[in-house]
Chain A
Amino acid sequence: MTALLEVRDLHASYGTTRVLHGLSFGVLEGGVTTLLGGNGAGKTTTLRALCGMVLRTGEITFAGRSIAHLSTEDIARLGIAHVPDGRGTFVRLTVEENLELGAITRRDRNAIAQDVERVFGYFPILQKRRGQQAGTLSGGEQQMLAIGRALMLQPRLMLLDEPSFGLAPRLVRELFGILAALNKSEGVSLLVVEQNAALALDLADQAYLVETGRIVFSGAAREIREDEKIRRSYLGY
């Protein structure tokens, strides 16, 4: 498998505060990579840096092309859909308008309509709420909407920032099932940031552990899952 996303020596800062100190990692074409780490490790910042939402330096290559100097909107247009921390819901617009916005850069109207139905297939609750102001959705519904909106881009790569955050356990399992299905059947590559390591390691093929802006451990997800010592010392389960 070839690399879809390659990151080398990524640094990022908020104003004068340096937060990332040279991260290198990658996502394979059709693969799932997870970034694990505790609060304040720099996971959210890493995703923001990839999308040009914070000041960053380093090499970022997507599908063989450097995106380190592109604007956030141009990176999205290349097919990188970011489900951000906080979900990025357009709270004053309807559920349906939120989904349409996910496809705002596409021109194929008929396919867009089909994709809306496809998203409703994955998340039937969104269909029921289609005319409702998105800000009134529950946290879980907003998470589904955020993933649905990302799908509307027909992305090659999805960046997911703690998709399990604030969801009931049953919903979390369902959501990760859908993510696995998207990856398998639609070939969308995933970069998943999680605190729930067990869950993320089940989904991923590669894993990186982030601590205070550095990668302290990396390897195949399966090995980490099976290595009790690593689990105990780094992941705490």
Chain B
Amino acid sequence: MELFLQQTLAGLATGTIYACIALAIVMTYQAIGHLNFAQGEMAMFSTFIAWQLIQWGTPYWIAFLATVAVSFAGGVLIERIVLRPIQHAPVLSHVAVFIGLLAILNSLAGFIWDFNVKPFPTPFGTAPLLGNGFIDAHQAGMIAITLLLLAFLYGFFRFTRVGLAMRAAAHDPVSARLVGIRVGWMTALGWGMAAAIGAIAGMMIAPIVFLEPNMMLGVLLYGFAGAVLGGLSSPVGAVIGGLIVGVVENLAGTFIPVIGGELKFTIALVIIVAVLVMKPQGLLGRPVLHRV
């Protein structure tokens, strides 16, 4: 029982990271209708920027905030420079661009910072928490940061005019233009926010998976699984989906002997396929309420 609880909590902790990536993917998907395969590599690149700043002697939290800001700007720039020119191009063009972006960011990170695995600091420490060590301080910190982030995002989309404009632009771009919303900039803003969310996820997971150009490969897969599970049209669903995937991954790895450590990746794929077959709209991605 204790092991079960411990693994569930640990799963929730990594689940927050999947939730963030799933959220970033869904935000982009809602804005442009395409899945950004490069979301993980963008987060990885951001994490390297944070690492570099810390190497240069920047205090952790200043490096953290600076990385979030730089990633936001980077996301906006990628949308304006790379995505905007192809916004009306078919799906395949987008897939090609995202894979290109993925490859470029990956090899650029390897070129600048090499492919050796690097430790990444945690601001929370790794002391066991809750006496008998259910989770450690870093895991608790990950959960806390994610909750803060989600609360911030909820408030932003729910209570600010820019948030409302972004939702309107994503739901109905034609009508949004008619009320004067600059839809293109809302999309760019969404990219910036997705990049910033990814950066936070990267900096939080890096102390666990260590820093290297391929660090986000698994995380991205789990993030996709979370996004699909939650329903690609629902940000809340993405978060819940990410958390579920984290817990399932951890429990299955612990309690189903065949799966162990090695086969864990398969779980993400199994989840994706199972959801697409049985409930394609995901848990919360319900169709729009229409009068009949």
| A interface with B by C-beta (< 8 Å) | 51, 53, 71-74, 76-77, 81-82, 84, 88-93, 97, 100-102, 104-105, 133, 135-138, 149, 153
The answer to whether A72 and B290 touch (CB under 8 A), given A88-B172, A104-B164, A104-B165, is no
B residues near A82, Cβ cutoff 8 Å: 178
A-binding residues in B (CB < 8 A) = 161, 164-165, 167-168, 171-172, 174-183, 288-291
CA distance in complex: A89, B289 (Å): 13
Which of A89, A137, A138, A153 is in CB contact (< 8 Å) with B175?
A: A89
Give the distance to chain A from B286, nearest Cβ to Cβ, in Å. Answer: 11
A90-B180 CB under 8 A given contacts A84-B175, A104-B161, A136-B289: no
B177 touches A90 (CB 8 A): no
Bound-state CA distance A133–B291 (Å) is 11
In-complex Cβ contact of A84 among B161, B164, B178, B183 (8 A) = B178
A-B contact count (CB 8 A): 78
Q: Which residues of B contact A51 (CB under 8 A)?
A: 178
Nearest 5 A-B pairs (CB), nearest first?
A76-B180, A105-B180, A88-B175, A72-B177, A77-B180
Complex Cα distance, B233 from A19, in Å, reads 36
User: Closest approach, in angstroms, between the C-beta of B80 and any C-beta of chain A?
Assistant: 16
19 of the cross-chain contacts (CB-CB < 8 Å) are A53-B177, A72-B177, A74-B180, A81-B178, A88-B174, A90-B175, A90-B176, A91-B172, A92-B288, A93-B164, A100-B161, A101-B168, A101-B179, A102-B179, A104-B161, A104-B168, A104-B181, A105-B181, A136-B289
B182 touches A73 (CB 8 A): yes
Contact A153 B172 (CB under 8 A): no
In the complex, what residues of A have CB within 8 A of residue B175's CB? 84, 88-90
Extra inter-chain contacts (19) besides given A104-B164, A135-B289, A153-B179, CB under 8 Å: A51-B178, A73-B181, A73-B182, A76-B178, A81-B178, A82-B178, A84-B174, A84-B175, A88-B172, A89-B175, A90-B176, A91-B171, A93-B167, A97-B168, A104-B161, A104-B165, A104-B168, A135-B288, A135-B291
A51 to B178, CA, bound (A): 8
Cβ-closest chain A residue relative to B178: A82
Chain B contact surface mostly = helix
Residues of B within 8 A of A133 (CB): 289
Whether A100 and B180, one on each chain, are in contact in the complex, defined by CB atoms closer than 8 angstroms, is no
Q: Which residues of B contact A90 (CB under 8 A)?
A: 168, 171-172, 175-176
A90 to B289, CA, bound (A): 12
Query: In whole angstroms, what is the CA distance A81 to B177 when docked?
Result: 11
Query: Which chain B residue shows the least CB distance to A51?
Result: B178
Chain B positions within 8 Å of A105 at CB level: 179-181
Which of A76, A100, A102 makes the CB contact (< 8 A) with B177?
A76
What's the minimum C-beta distance from A143 to chain B, rounded to whole angstroms? 14
A136 partner residues in chain B, CB cutoff 8 A: 289-291
Q: How far is the CA of A81 from the CA of B179 in the complex (A)?
A: 7
Bound CA–CA A71/B290 (angstroms)? 31
A71, chain B: closest CB distance, angstroms: 8
Central interface residue in B174, B178, B291, by most chain A CB within 10 Å: B178
Give the CA-CA distance A88 to B177 in the complex, in Å.
10
Task: Check if B179 sits within 8 Å of A76, measured CB to CB.
Answer: yes
Q: Given A89-B175, A90-B171, A92-B171, A101–B183 Cβ distance below 8 Å?
A: no
Q: Is the Cβ of B183 less than 8 Å from the Cβ of A73?
A: yes
In the bound complex, CA of A192 to CA of B41 (Å): 52
Contact B164–A97 (Cβ < 8 Å): yes
Assembly CA distance A153 to B178 (angstroms): 10
* B234: min CB distance to chain A, Å: 11
Rounded to whole angstroms, the CA-CA distance of A152 and B161 in the bound complex is 14
Complex CA distance for A136 and B291, rounded to whole angstroms:
6
Complex CA gap A77/B180 in Å reads: 5
Bound-state CA distance A180–B279 (Å) is: 51
Q: Report the separation of the CA atoms of residues A153 and B175 in the bound assembly, to the nearest whole angstrom.
A: 13
Output the nearest chain A residue to B171 by Cβ-Cβ distance: A92
Residues of chain B within 8 A (CB-CB) of A101 are: 164-165, 168, 176, 179, 181
Cβ-closest chain B residue relative to A146:
B175
- Docked complex Cα distance between A90 and B168 (Å): 7
Docked pose: A113 CA to B181 CA in angstroms: 19
